[in-house]
Chain A
Amino acid sequence: MRPNHQFTEFEKALIASMPAEGSEAGAILSGTGLPSRRDERWKWTDVRAALREEKQSSVQSVSSRAPLLSLDQPIEFLFANGHLSQAPAGLPEGLTLSRGGDYPLFRENLPNIATEKAEATYVLTVSGKLDRPIHLRFLSEGSGMHHTSVQVVLEEGAEASIVESLEGSDGAWFANGVMRFRLAKGASLERLILQQAHDDAVQVHFAMANLAAGANFTQGTLGFGSKLCRLETQVLHEGEGARAVLNGAYLLSGRRHLDNTTDVGHTVPGCVTEELYKGVLADKGRGVFQGRFYVARDAQKTDARMAHNALLLSDEAEVDAKPELMIYADDVQCAHGNTAGALDTEALFYMRQRGLSEAQARAMLVQAFVVEAFGHISNEDVKARLMVLIETWLEAQS
């Protein structure tokens, strides 16, 4: 227990709402409270400070709205303030929905709380090749708090794509979600996370992916931040020859905060991880990037590369980065790079000499900077729609 820990009203209410008996998450919460800047892994994203006032549980309905990203024939599941309010009448062959699913006790306690507090852990199981994308829409509204827990299981050789859109209307809501991905041998999953929320919202969206031999996990993220938002993905290579791609872009304006945290564990030989994050910060936006590669003693021939590049468009913006390597095996290729800086003034001048206005040149350069993070997305349609979202953001800046 932390000495002299003063629980906030929010923490007290949350603790009170946990089951009195047998709640591991509740026990940890009563001991340490919510993560704050005193915790090494949360030093730049202080959840405790962002959530001081007491919050009620959210009502289980939201007003309907157009999806942030329209997909071609999506298999859509809609979570209204944490409540699964819409699911397709019939699921295509190779996809089943059930409740239950087991969860380990995560190192972070917020996902533990999400597991315990969610109305259920929904389990989507995929066998074979799923042609249509799964779309999980997490809609939030109001000023309460809510939790979700979803597990996606890909059986041996299965293939699927999933989009999680974290969307929200006005309100100082708190959404806490946990995702678990389990990829069996040779399975392949393309995951896309899209986050756009109101200025007052606080979001924590945590995912854990376990990859068996030869599994392929590809993740893309596009985030625009909120009052405080943390998107965390932990990947564990458990079978030889597994491959993970973790890419993402974030564009932050106003006083928005977005934290992209990734932690990739290599425990067996011959796995590959590629990671590229691109951040654009305007106004008083604050971007946080924490990336960690862990390579265990037995994980020889690991090939892991990480890069994070941030572009600061304003003198009031801030970026904090911690690209971390923990290496215990010698026959590995591991590297990381990190850059932060402003737009290249030479390129700006060159483009303006050709006749582009400053705003045009800036927008084009920013787009070019960000687009690299979507190089892995195979669906050109989806890529184009993401670019539209980025263009819209850029237009709002000029």
Chain B
Amino acid sequence: MSQTRETVVKEGIDQATVEMTRELETYKHGFITNIESEKAPKGLTEDTVRYISAKKDEPQWMLDWRLEAFARWKEMDEPTWAHVKYPAINYQDHYYYSAPKSGSKYESIDDVPPEILADFEKLGIPLREAEVLLGVEGAGQTPGEARTDAGVGGEGVARQKVAVDAVFDSVSVATTFKKELEKAGVIFMSISEAIREHPELVKKYIGSVVPTSDNFFATLNTAVFSDGTFVYVPPGVRCPMELSTYFRINEANTGQFERTLIVADKGSYVSYLEGCTAPMRDENQLHAAVVELVALEDAEIKYSTVQNWYPGDKDGKGGIYNFVTKRGDCREARSKISWTQVETGSAVTWKYPSCILRGDNSVGEFYSIAITNNHQQADTGTKMIHLGRNTTSRIISKGIAAGFSDQTYRGLVSVHRKAEGVRNFTQCDSLLIGDQCGAHTVPYIEAKNSSAVLEHEATTSRLSEDQLFYCMQRGLNEEEAVSLLVNGFCKDVLQQLPMEFAVEAQKLLEVSLEGSVG
């Protein structure tokens, strides 16, 4: 761990270099990959929207949709209600499209520029179709090493197939296991490809969960989204492997606006994982994604995120602005959508993965761990909108604030007039580490039906000194003790993650809390 290591300042190496090296060790995905890229002109105009659409070879309906969104976006104001502070964003000072110059999509994995392959390899993301673990925190390791490492905690799961869609800045560079998935009837490809290859499906579902002018950032995304993932699971199919997308922002001053659409048709099941990182840069970068999930009758979607965008340095310089709209629609009876998120990155997070429980007896779940350290700010939570009868939802949120960070859980549970027999249970626990951080809980509960049973509990506390002392008496150092206790605090949520992800998430918790004690 960086601060436990002695740093000898040699002659000729200035303090800044030492600091920088330290930072590099703290955020392990902060390297920049040198690759020539092709960008849209800086700034955002109607021409930018047309440029992106043209680059993607999009049909007219898609361009029209983008332009409509852009027109509406110009009339909208950036939301200010979240408990976060950041300097005004100059939307004209960003690039809205950046792609590796050598072409956006490659025929075979062998055509992917070696720099990008190496980049993803450094991140532990397997772009070659080997049976390996999805690693999120394996920088500096080869996938093989990551496997050995993770295998310690996750015996028996070490060899599992995970299909990956890798998004590098604005474009999807590789999608693995496509053929095998096709055999099962599962469509898994970049959204750009899907717009061309499955326009009828995309047209039917895109924008049906998050409408064009839903909110400022979602509308911006609709206008300028450049890539993302499309998944369609046909009726009755249980997706044979975990699907995942790995997002990477590399280029400077570049916003990433990805769009993900997952449709689980009647009686199907899919588990989807999402991971994200970005290089360390001094300036802030914008990430405004939209994720739409549609679950039809008896279908289930499990969506897990490990978000580890660059959080900025320890003084709060740089980092990603993560302004994301994620929403799932349990459109038909007995469908289920489950969100699990481990949020450790980003300078500012604004994110509320939500469920619209429209179908009778549908189920929505939200499991969240959010860790903020240094000067990070996070305003995150969920909305459970109960429209159908006998719909149930469950919210478990664990927030850990350390350093100078500020964290808010913001959630809505809403029961509509006709929704008989609704059940909700919400538990929000916050843990403060240190006395310079803040943890806030802002739940909204709206009940319009007397048969609803809604329970909400929230607590705020700090790590018990008794427990810390107990662990240390047994020989753990303070950081290990904190990490152990924090893991215990988060257990209910960690259990929800797919096994191979949970191991990585635990390690990530450790890294994120480095330097928070002592």
Contacts and interface: CB of A to CB of B under 8 A. Distances in A.
Given A40-B81, A323-B458, A336-B458, A318 B448 contact: yes
Contact of A327 (B81, B438, B451, B454): B438
Given A312-B450, A322-B442, A332 B460 contact: yes
A202 B456 CA distance: 31
A312 B446 CA distance: 12
B435 A324 contact: no
Contacts of B452: 312, 340-342
A320 B444 contact: yes
Main secondary structure of the interface of A (DSSP, over half): strand
Contact of B451 (A315, A333, A338): A315
A315 B447 CA distance: 10
A335 B457 contact: yes
A325 interface: yes
Interface string A328-367: 1111111111111110000000000000000000000000
Contact of B443 (A319, A323, A335, A341): A323
B473 interface: no
A317 B415 CA distance: 12
Interface in B419-456: 430, 432-456
Contacts, number: 113
A323 B460 CA distance: 13
B445 A332 contact: no
A297 interface: yes
A258 interface: no
Nearest to A295: B460
Contacts of A313: 450
A337 B443 contact: no
Given A326-B440, A330-B433, A330-B435, A317 B460 contact: no
Contacts of A300: 435
A333 B429 CA distance: 12
B447 A337 contact: no
B436 A340 contact: no
A318 B461 contact: no
A271 interface: no
A280 to B, nearest CB: 11
B491 interface: no
Nearest to B451: A342
Given A318-B446, A322-B445, A342-B451, A337 B457 contact: yes
Interface in B56-86: 81
Contacts of B448: 317-318
A314 B452 CA distance: 11
Interface size class of B (residues with CB under 8 A): 20 to 34
A333 B459 CA distance: 8
A323 B417 CA distance: 22
Contacts of A337: 455-458
A321 B434 contact: no
Interface string A282-316: 00000000000000010010000000001011111
A341 B417 CA distance: 13
A328 B438 contact: yes
Contact of A334 (B449, B453, B455, B460): B460
A182 to B, nearest CB: 29
Contacts of B449: 312, 315
A334 B435 CA distance: 15
A320 B445 contact: yes
A327 B436 CA distance: 10
A297 B417 CA distance: 42
A68 B448 CA distance: 31
B462 interface: yes
Given A315-B417, A335-B457, A339-B456, A327 B450 contact: no
Interface string A10-49: 0000000000000000000000000000001000000000
A133 B392 CA distance: 49
Nearest to B424: A340
13 contacts: A297-B435, A315-B417, A315-B449, A317-B448, A317-B450, A318-B448, A320-B445, A322-B444, A333-B460, A336-B458, A338-B445, A338-B455, A338-B456
Given A318-B446, A320-B445, A339-B455, 8 more contacts: A300-B435, A321-B445, A323-B443, A330-B433, A330-B437, A335-B458, A335-B460, A340-B453
Name the 10 nearest CB pairs between A and B, nearest first.
Answer: A312-B450, A330-B432, A338-B456, A330-B462, A334-B460, A341-B453, A325-B441, A321-B445, A340-B454, A340-B447
